[in-house]
Amino acid sequence: MESIRTLFETALDADEIARMIEGLSAIPPAAQKQAVDIGLILSDFSKKAAAEYFRAAPAVLQSIDPEELAGWVGMGIQIAQQSSAAGIRFFKLAPAVFPKLTSKTLRTHFIQLGLSLAERDYNLALEYYQQAPALLAQVALSEADLTFWAEQGVALGKEDYTLAVEYFRISPSLLLLLPIGLLSKWITIGRKLSSGKILSTLQFIRTSPETFSQIPSNADRERLLDLTSEVAERHPELAAKLFSEAAAILPAFQALRLEGVLLDRTLLLARFDGELAAALFLNGPKILKEMGSAAAHFPEWVEEGLSLVKRGSSQAHGFFSFESKTAREVIDRFGSGLSLSSVSGLLKRFAEALSGRPVTIQPTTLLDQIDREKGRKGGAASPTTDGSTIYLPAHVDRFAAKELNFEWYRVATAFQAGHLEFGTFTTPKPYEIADLIESLQTKYKRRGGFSGLASFFSLFPEPALIERLFEITEGARIEYLLRLEYPGLRAALIRMRESELDRRPPLTGLTPRGAVVELLQQISIAGKTKEPVPAPLQAVLFDACRTLGAVQNPDATAAVALSMRAAAGVYLLLDVEEAIPEAPEKEMEKFEERGTEVRGEGEGGGTLAPSVRGTLDPRRVEAAKRATEAQAEALIEKLKAAGIDLATEAAAAALSASIQKGEVTRASLQEPGGLDPLAERMIADAMPREETPGGKRFRYDEWDAAQDDYRSGWCQVIERPVPPGPTGAVEEILAEYGGMIGSIQTAFQHLRPEGLKRIKGEREGDELDLDALLNSRVEARAGYPPSDRIYQARQKKERSVAVAFLVDISGSTSQQLPASPSSRPLGNPRKTGKRVLDVEKEALVLLSRAMEAVGDRFALYAFSGRGKEAVDFYLLKEFEERTGTEIDRRIGEMNGTAQNRDGAAIRHATRKLLAQPAKVKLLVLISDGKPLDDGYSGAYATADTKMALREAKRRGIHSYCITIDREGSEYLQGMYGEVAYLIIDAVETLPVKLPQIYKRLTT
């Protein structure tokens, strides 16, 4: 050990050396000497790397055998020879790397392959070294497969280093979903996309795991790759867009089991014309939405378009892009109406206003899918609820007028919200129902307690009959209360009567008892029957209607016990054998008058005319409630482990709110770790802001254009202070642009206000305003009252401007720029290897000099991150901070990181600006392309960014967006169209142009 002390006595302090020796002393004696000797050999190549090795070796030897040290260190030497810093990182990573490799054979191959990679590219070898163990821990790969995977990364690195790094980083999650046999095809497609632009390939790599996670079968994943490949042959940009948006497009087709049809038809079309195939795929959800209940005819609709292609018709493009009249005319053949997706936002707000609680609106097709996945019979189409979600048909086309179809949706929503508001699923108090339960238990010889509607139904010999009767009586109660509490709904409820009655089934084929139940249903819906009531059924039907009328009680606005008693009363009527003859012989007149004015005992009468009531499923509600309670208890345990105490009611409320926001789903909660996103967020929220690692945390809504509503508290922005870096990077910038900085500062100094300005026509002032005095005298001589505004005052001139510069530093900014000497503003050839990020740094350094000259309040921020819970917001310079060397060094320390969630960053910058007292507030966004993050891409991300800019505008902030994506005209107009924006063709001119742009904005 003395050799180690001697080796580091001038490089490390004594305490550090002592700790190092103490760690090595814990190694078994048989391996200790070997570990020390190998480390001393390493020190000949890099003493700093050797120091990190000695720190890591004790931990590493807990995972590998001593004889494996030589191979591991050999790889480290190969890397350290090329870069001491990389060598340090190599050994620092080791304690986290080797525990994932439990097989010695696998470790040996892992090191041998890493050594081979290190000889060719040490940077990529490091990425391999860091990512391969995570990959191998999740995916079973043979040695040949591992070699193939690594070699593909190296080959990508020869084309573009950023792509290779992203490839290695994404592989563990990618190969969980994509068979290794399809990796070659996937990489080939990535290369095709890079012929369009490198950012497309980067986006393709990043979004692949999310996209494949939406496709359950490997066959469909391969078909999507084939489709992307076909389109990429001639339209790489469209292919990139198609693939990136697939995760958002496919679920709508999966809900209808049409995803295979979509992939098959678009692949077939791509062999004719890739552009048409992309148009069909990208417009798929829009087409389904328009088709509504006729969506099953989607294959026939596509065939109509294919026939246009085969005929060489020029209409094909308009057809598949859904812009032509023909496309809509074909849909009209299959059906028409109103889709739920187009009004779900309005219905959600309507339901929440009625029920007073958060509510989700979903199509019944989703409920059908859930039931089928759980092995239950599907086919649900009627409106219903599980206690927190209201399920409605995906498409309604009952009426020729869309207004009436919307009214149907509105009334159906009112009934389901009414069940929540008026306590349909609330267990009655014992005193409300105890006598009924006891009498039923005695009559039908049942045992067991009463715990809810499901147990109530089980008391009867025929549970299906009592459920049907309860649905009728409870529907009548809810209808009565809706009309009583919300007079504005009455007209809509009345308008739905005839339509609902027309859709009731005929009595033909029903048993006498079944006929009574159906007639009772019709009377409760429309106040009359659809056909004459057979005379033998008159008496029992009249008695049933009298019993039903008891639910219309204005003094019991939430008493579900009334409906239970009424349903039980009708059941007992039907349970008497002689009450209904076996074969009714005669008909009676329609029961319209009696049906519309049925009176219950002790109540003043009323109209029983509910409309689209849907169905009740108390078991689903109770199951959802039990699941929520169990999940709430699990959440409490997770929080308790973190030192946070939470009551059961609060946990259930947090869980419900999280489901409403989409943070978790009911499906994900059934899986291991499903509660983790909520628990992690609540733990983070509970931490004191000042003590939160990384800085303060803020939550922001995010706009979901598909739902036409915000996802409440969806994103977390984390403020991250930037420590000053070394001065070298900034000194290079100042040296390169030194001759220009002086002229920029001089130009900006002219924007400063000059001392005092004279204000004439004041009542008080420093001296007389001679012009005003003369006018005053003239007015007096003319007989008019003279003005007293005859003074002039001197006031300070003010330039009241605050501006926040917000810079995108996502991983794509690490992309290297091609050398272009002619584009340099000074005529000097730029150094090779400069990245977009380097140009952004240069621009901010020059800009800070210009801002210092003009004196405006300004702040410099950067943003990146990965996922909605980690939107990193870097504080380069706050408004109150002065410019200087420290700010420059922070700018120099910026590094391209992960992804970019523009909407959240813009909202946080807006918050910062609103705190400033300036009269004019500016937000300048500098970005290198589309917003892209986990679950944040394509039309969704573009719409949220646009909404964030719109929010800033509403609050008096002027936004200006600068992008260096020269090929972004396709989406920029849609994203930035409401604010000013500029596309910079030559990225390297940004440092010079940015101060010029700011000058134009503020003069």
871: confidence class by pLDDT, cuts 50, 70, 90:
very high
CB 167 within 8 A of CB 191: no
Does the global pTM surpass 0.85? no
Query: Which residue, 837, 797, 858, is CA-closest to 1001?
Result: 858
- Are 225 and 185 a contacting pair, CB within 8 Å? yes
Q: How far apart are CA 371 and CA 104, in angstroms?
A: 47
Amino acid at 235: H
Q: Say how many C-beta atoms besides its own lie within 10 A of residue 332's C-beta.
A: 10
Most confident residue range from 682-686, 867-871, 904-908, 988-992: 904-908
Confidence class of residue 744 from pLDDT cuts 50, 70 and 90? low
CA pair distance 663, 702, nearest whole angstrom: 12
Q: How far apart are CA 409 and CA 828, in angstroms?
A: 68
Indicate whether 822 pLDDT > 50: no
Contact 35, 66 (CB under 8 A): yes
> Cα separations (Å) of 287 from 249, 292, 584, 590?
11, 9, 51, 45
The model's pLDDT over 16-70, given as tens digits with 9 standing for 90+, comes to 888 888 888 888 888 888 888 888 998 889 888 989 988 989 988 888 888 888 8
* Residues 6+ away with beta carbon under 8 Å from 286: 322
Separation CA 438–CA 281 (nearest Å): 61
The pLDDT value recorded for residue 597 is: 38
Residue 592: what residue type?
A: E
26 vs 20: CA distance, rounded Å: 10
Q: What is the pLDDT of residue 462?
A: 93
Please, which pLDDT band fits residue 439 given cuts at 50, 70 and 90?
very high
Given this model, what pLDDT does residue 749 score?
Answer: 58
**DSSP labels for 639-652?**
HHHTT----HHHHH
Q: Averaged over 505-527, what is the pLDDT?
A: 87
- Write down the pLDDT at residue 689: 40
What confidence category does residue 600 fall into, taking pLDDT thresholds of 50, 70 and 90? very low
Q: Report the pLDDT value the prediction gives residue 763, as an integer from 0 to 100.
A: 72
pLDDT digits (tens, 9 = 90+) for 402-427: 788 889 999 999 999 999 999 898 88
Nearest to 881 by CA among 870, 896, 891, 871: 891
Token pair for residue 703? 């706009």
902: left (phi over 0), alpha (psi -120 to 50) or beta: alpha
Spatial neighbors of 158 by CB under 8 A, at least 6 apart, are none
Per-residue pLDDT, averaged over 486-504, amounts to 86
Contact 228, 281 (CB under 8 A): no
Judged against a pLDDT cut of 90, whether residue 653 lies above it is answered with no
pLDDT of residue 874: 94
pLDDT band at 588 (very low <50, low <70, confident <90, very high): very low
Neighbours of 661 (CB within 10 A): 18
Please report the pLDDT score of residue 948 as a whole number: 92
- Predicted confidence at residue 596, as pLDDT, reads 36
Looking at the chain, the whole-number percentage of residues with pLDDT higher than 90 is 15
pLDDT band at residue 905 under the 50/70/90 scheme: very high
Q: Which of 260, 216, 268, 263 is nearest to 243 (CA)?
A: 263
pLDDT, mean of residues 348-368: 84
* Beta carbons of 397 and 697 less than 8 angstroms apart: no
Q: Residue 826's pLDDT is what? A: 40
pLDDT score recorded for residue 639: 77
Read off the pLDDT of each residue in 565-589 and give the average, rounded to a whole number.
70
Q: Is the pLDDT of residue 328 over 70?
A: no
Sketch the domain layout of the chain as residue ranges.
337-399, 422-596, 617-685, 728-750+799-1001, 756-796
C-alpha to C-alpha distance for 892 and 103, rounded to whole angstroms: 43
Residue 790: per-residue pLDDT: 77
Predicted confidence at residue 824, as pLDDT, reads: 44
The single-letter code of the amino acid at 889 is R
728-750+799-1001 has which fold? Rossmann fold (3.40.50)
Average of per-residue pLDDT across 481-510: 86
Torsion angle, CA of 205/942/708/293, rounded to 10 degrees? -50
Q: How confident is the model at residue 828 (pLDDT cuts 50, 70, 90)?
A: very low
Q: Find the range with the poorest average confidence among 109-113, 646-650, 928-932.
A: 646-650
Which contacts qualify for 892-895: CB closer than 8 Å, 24 or more apart? 892/725, 892/726, 892/727, 892/728, 892/729, 892/730, 892/733, 892/841, 893/722, 893/723, 893/724, 893/725, 894/722, 894/807, 894/809, 894/837, 894/840, 894/841, 894/862, 895/809, 895/837
Longest CA–CA separation in the chain, Å: 117
List, as one string, the DSSP characters of 905-938: HHHHHHHHHHTS--SEEEEEEEESS--BBTTB-H
**Residue 798 — very low, low, confident or very high, per pLDDT cuts 50/70/90?**
low
Predicted local distance difference test score (pLDDT) of residue 610: 32
Q: Which residues contact 759 (CB under 8 A, 6 or more apart)?
A: 765, 792, 793, 794, 795
Q: How far is CA 799 from CA 486, 751, 856, 881, 1003, in A?
A: 55, 9, 7, 18, 10
Question: Nearest CA to 924 among 801, 800, 803?
Answer: 803
- Residues 795, 757: contact at Cβ < 8 Å? yes
Q: Kindly state the tokens that stand for 860.
A: 């410099």
Pair 745, 916: CB distance under 8 Å: no
Confidence of residue 688 (pLDDT cuts 50, 70, 90): very low
Compare 602 and 133 and report the one with higher pLDDT. 133
User: For residues 204-234, b (16+ Cβ closer than 10 Å) or e, as one string?
Assistant: bbbbbbbbbebbeeeebbbbbbbbbbbbbee
For residues 80 and 82, give the distance between their C-alpha atoms in angstroms, rounded to a whole number: 5
Written as six digits, the tokens of 207 are 């979004």
Rounded to the nearest integer, the mean pLDDT of the chain is: 80
**Residue range 973-994: average pLDDT?**
66
Q: 925, 961 in Cβ contact below 8 A?
A: yes
338-339 vs 980-983, strand pairing mode: unpaired
What local confidence, expressed as pLDDT, does residue 979 receive? 64
Q: Say yes or no to pLDDT of 466 above 60.
A: yes
Can you read off the two tokens belonging to residue 585? Answer: 């012989």
pLDDT band per the 50, 70, 90 thresholds, residue 459: very high
